[in-house]
Chains A and B, each alone.
With several copies, the nearest count.
Chain A
Amino acid sequence: MAAPDIKAAQTRHEALGLTRDDLLEMYSYVALARAIDERMWILQRAGMVSFVISGQGHEGAQVGIMWAVDRERDWLVPYYRSLAACLTKGMSARDLMLGLFAREADPSSGGRQMPAHWAHPAHKILSTSSPVGTQYLHATGIAYAAKVRGTGEVCVTSVGEGGTSQGDWHEALNFAGVHKLPVLFCVENNRYAISVPTRLQFAVQDVAVRAAGYGFPGIVVDGSDVLACYAVAREAVRRARAGEGPTLIECKVERLTAHSSEDRQEKYRPTADVEAGRSKDPLVVFKHYLEQVSVMDEAPYTDIHGRIKTIVNDATEHAEQAPWPDPSTVTRHVYHEG
């Protein structure tokens, strides 16, 4: 998508009721997520942690969407690329780093799960597993409970485009459609499921078209466009709270890294394809927009990135020095400890 010209651009965020401060805060989340993510790769390459799976390229869509929810009231059922979403929902850089280092104080799992399996009860971020796609049904159940209990909560969940091939994905959309549940079903379509391209994943251009088969809207949005993602999510949240039912949101994003630290994407992904992806880097695209609307210039930029550097360093040191889990705790929490 070509950079919008300034007039239109100004009306864009203003039309969405976003202030200059909102924009800078949104940008800060995208940039912080990126900075944490890049640090994670450095730590993995340095052999300080054994595994990393990354959200680079997905942050804009996640921050845009999470900006539309009530961070206290609503639920997030994330997946392993939801780093920026979890940050925006309230988790701290320390929380995330403690998970990467698998330390006792990791709020997601106490080091029991692989990195990127984020969870946090206080922030209403549900614990998720590794099997792709199961979380869609959990989000559906959470939304059903919200509806019958009348809590007004909305639930946001996400998965990659490969995950749409799982039976659970279908069963969740169908169930939620029947009961018009307050849920946002996000698909972060980065064109690859590890090495499998979308042409072998499904026979449609936009998986969002499937929403029609479940009786609710499916929207395709440019995931590098934070404001566009916010606009789509805001409407989806309105529908959800109004009892109008779910929305399927397909964000076209780019995977700016290999699938994970275990993957060598050169083998299946042409360099040109990787390069092309860079033009869709939400951090670059969003910064460009902020510059055009003169919200961003030298001063706030240096300031924001300065703070981010401090936060990432602090989180890294904190996690690195944090104690490991006590081996004797391995048998705890199999069942409720009454």
Chain B
Amino acid sequence: MAEMRLLDAIRLGMYEEMKRDARVLVLGEDVGIKGGVFGATDGFYAEFGEARVLDTPLAESAIVGAAIGMAANGLIPIAEIQFSDFIHPAFNQIVSEAARMRYRSNGAFGCPIVIRAPYGGGVEVHGGLYHSQSIEAFYTHVPGLKVVTPYTPYDAKGLLKAAVRDPDPVLFLEHKRLYRALRGEVPEDDYVVPIGPAMVRRQGTMLSVFAYGQMLHETLQAAERLAAEGIDAEVVDLRTLRPLDTETILTSVRKTNKAMVVYEDNRFMGFGAEVSAIIAEEAFDSLDGPIVRVAGLDVPAMPYSDPLAAAFIPTADKIAGAMRRLAAY
């Protein structure tokens, strides 16, 4: 069992799936000889060749649109969007086409594609307005699509393999700050982490905090600090954002009676709104306090200049503060 980074786990997951199944291919910008701008497909070109490790023209709609056709004709494409910020030109192909192929054909045609997209920002990402965005809010609204975002290297490999084997389109979101930040145990064997179930990362009794990606990391740090203050928080890793594991969310809230959701994306209409709305409708009787959202600011995106970037994003400090207030409520 090897220790590795999230990025390596994703690469390994893809590598194993390409070895296992000749129908699997990767396509995107710079995924070939360069191995991707983050190195997720490093070495694939030499190993699998140009036909299965395809440097596409610079056109995201074509990357997704062609992948849909490839899937219709027997391949299993893993499309890499270089930065999630650049997935928008493919919005119509994802929403109107990939996500609806099965429904509109009454089950006759499917669309087994995986769309990988590095997302998220932070001062150390230096991504500015167009290399920092969270995009899950747009895509989790789309029936027919599945949306996952791993936190641990173990989940990264397991969820990636589950995504490749899934008969429906999966948007696989990878937070850039997690790529190299943490290492974790990743078994060599062929395991999958099922798409769907959330995971309680920290057991607690006084409040439930729901998060994913980098914000889960910040939340866990905040929870540790608060533990020292005697505030015992439960922290849940949502992992799969659609279909969402409502049961695990409600079970946790019914236990702690207080709920908070943390996300990096813009607050208004961000993913936390749905989590909050589900709790407000289905666990109302269990609530002993308001459902709190801690999120990114409602400005177009994270600015580049360090002081502005720092002002945009929720940190362990901000999260801990909000948890303290909710616990004391």
Out of B35, B62, B146, name the residue touching A175 (CB < 8 Å): B62
- B245 to chain A minimum Cβ distance, whole angstroms, is 15
Proximity bits, A161-204, B CB within 8 Å = 1, else 0 = 01101111001101100100000000000000111100011100
**Given A165-B57, A167-B89, A171-B65, A112-B127 contact (CB < 8 Å):** no
Out of B51, B55, B97, B106, name the residue touching A195 (CB < 8 Å): B55
Residue in chain B with minimal CB distance to A175: B62
**A137 located at the interface, meaning its Cβ lies under 8 Å from any Cβ of chain B in the complex:** yes
**Contact B130 A131, beta carbon cutoff 8 Å:** yes
**Given A112-B305, A114-B128, A334-B298, A131-B68 contact (CB < 8 Å):** no
**A301 located at the interface, meaning its Cβ lies under 8 Å from any Cβ of chain B in the complex:** no
Residue in chain A with minimal CB distance to B144: A334
> Using Cβ atoms and an 8 Å threshold, which residues of chain A touch B272?
none
> Using Cβ atoms and an 8 Å threshold, which residues of chain B touch A332?
106-107
Contacts between the two chains (Cβ within 8 Å), count: 264
> Using Cβ atoms and an 8 Å threshold, which residues of chain A touch B34?
194-195, 267-268
The CA of A328 and the CA of B299, in the complex, are separated in Å by: 12
**B96 located at the interface, meaning its Cβ lies under 8 Å from any Cβ of chain A in the complex:** yes
**Given A325-B305, A333-B102, A113-B61 contact (CB < 8 Å):** no
| Residue among B62, B85, B103, B144 having the largest count of chain A Cβ atoms under 10 Å | B62
**B314 located at the interface, meaning its Cβ lies under 8 Å from any Cβ of chain A in the complex:** no
**Contact A172 B62, beta carbon cutoff 8 Å:** yes
Out of B30, B93, B107, B129, name the residue touching A134 (CB < 8 Å): B93
Q: Which of B4-12, B71-79, B230-238, B275-283 contacts A (4 or more CB under 8 A)?
A: B71-79
The CA of A333 and the CA of B312, in the complex, are separated in Å by: 14
**Contact A137 B66, beta carbon cutoff 8 Å:** yes
> Using Cβ atoms and an 8 Å threshold, which residues of chain B touch A330?
297, 299, 303, 308, 311-312
The CA of A149 and the CA of B168, in the complex, are separated in Å by: 21
- A190 to chain B minimum Cβ distance, whole angstroms, is 13
**B321 located at the interface, meaning its Cβ lies under 8 Å from any Cβ of chain A in the complex:** no
The CA of A124 and the CA of B86, in the complex, are separated in Å by: 26
Out of B65, B85, B304, B307, name the residue touching A137 (CB < 8 Å): B65
**B108 located at the interface, meaning its Cβ lies under 8 Å from any Cβ of chain A in the complex:** yes
**Contact A334 B299, beta carbon cutoff 8 Å:** yes
**Given A331-B297, A337-B107, A195-B62 contact (CB < 8 Å):** no
Out of B52, B59, B297, name the residue touching A166 (CB < 8 Å): B59
**Contact B144 A327, beta carbon cutoff 8 Å:** no
> Using Cβ atoms and an 8 Å threshold, which residues of chain B touch A114?
126-131, 304
**Contact A112 B74, beta carbon cutoff 8 Å:** no
The CA of A174 and the CA of B85, in the complex, are separated in Å by: 23
**B88 located at the interface, meaning its Cβ lies under 8 Å from any Cβ of chain A in the complex:** yes
The CA of A149 and the CA of B143, in the complex, are separated in Å by: 31
The CA of A58 and the CA of B315, in the complex, are separated in Å by: 41
Q: How many residues of A contact B (CB 8 A)?
A: 81
> Using Cβ atoms and an 8 Å threshold, which residues of chain B touch A155?
69
**Contact A196 B307, beta carbon cutoff 8 Å:** no
> Using Cβ atoms and an 8 Å threshold, which residues of chain A touch B129?
112-114, 129-130
Out of A137, A153, A331, A337, name the residue touching B73 (CB < 8 Å): A153
**Contact A171 B304, beta carbon cutoff 8 Å:** no
> Using Cβ atoms and an 8 Å threshold, which residues of chain A touch B52?
148
**Contact A194 B69, beta carbon cutoff 8 Å:** no
The CA of A23 and the CA of B297, in the complex, are separated in Å by: 50
Out of B61, B96, B102, B143, name the residue touching A129 (CB < 8 Å): B96
**Contact B311 A327, beta carbon cutoff 8 Å:** yes
The CA of A114 and the CA of B127, in the complex, are separated in Å by: 7
Hey, which bits of chain B sit against chain A, CB under 8 A? Answer: 25, 29-30, 32-35, 37, 51-52, 55-59, 61-62, 64-75, 77, 85-86, 88-89, 92-93, 96-97, 100-110, 126-131, 143-144, 146, 166-168, 297-300, 303-308, 310-312
Hey, which bits of chain A sit against chain B, CB under 8 A? Answer: 50-51, 75, 77, 102-103, 106-115, 117, 119-121, 126-127, 129-134, 136-146, 148-149, 151, 153, 155, 162-163, 165-168, 171-172, 174-175, 178, 193-196, 200-202, 262-263, 267-268, 324-338
7 shortest interchain CB distances as A-B pairs: A141-B69, A137-B65, A111-B305, A130-B130, A110-B106, A165-B57, A145-B73
9 contacts between A and B (CB under 8 A): A108-B105, A113-B104, A113-B129, A168-B93, A195-B33, A196-B58, A330-B299, A330-B312, A338-B167
